[in-house]
Amino acid sequence: TQLLEQSPQFLSIQEGENLTVYCNSSSVFSSLQWYRQEPGEGPVLLVTVVTGGEVKKLKRLTFQFGDARKDSSLHITAAQPGDTGLYLCAGDSWGKLQFGAGTQVVVTP
C-alpha cells in the first residue's frame, strides 16, 4: 500500500515542453525526497526538501514542498530526452522511506 499518491502515473511529452509531477500524502514527514530511477538501476536522489513552503531549483528542475509538509511537486522546464525515467517521491519517517508508486516520464525528441 502506497501512502504517498503520485500523479499522473504516466506522462509522455515532446522535447522542449514543460511538465509537473505531484506527490500528495495525508501524513506529515520530516523531509521529502525526489528520486529518478532508470530501468535496471536503483533510484538516484535528486533533492531533499525539509521546510514547509521550501522551493529548490536544480538546473531545469524545480521542487516545492507544501506549507503543511504533506505534498510536493516537481516541475521540469524545457524537458529533454535525458529526463526520461521513473520519478519517485519518498517521505522520510525517522529513517524509513515511504515511496509513492512513481510517475513514468517519457520525453521524445
**Contacts to another protein by CB under 8 A:** 2, 4, 33, 35, 40-45, 88, 90, 92, 94-102
- 94 burial type by CB count under 10 A (0-12 exposed, 13-18 middle, 19+ buried): exposed
Supply the Cα-derived Rg of the chain in whole angstroms: 13
Q: Minimal distance in Å, beta carbon 45 to another protein?
A: 6
Task: List C-alpha distances in Å: 109 to 13, 15, 80, 90, 98.
Answer: 9, 5, 8, 29, 33
Nearer to another protein, 85 or 100 (CB): 100
Cell representation of residue 51: 521546510
CA torsion 16-22-40-109 (nearest 10°) is -10
Nearer to another protein, 59 or 96 (CB): 96
Q: Minimal distance in Å, beta carbon 32 to another protein?
A: 12
Nearer to another protein, 7 or 77 (CB): 7
Q: Minimal distance in Å, beta carbon 3 to another protein?
A: 10
Q: Minimal distance in Å, beta carbon 70 to another protein?
A: 17
Nearer to another protein, 35 or 66 (CB): 35
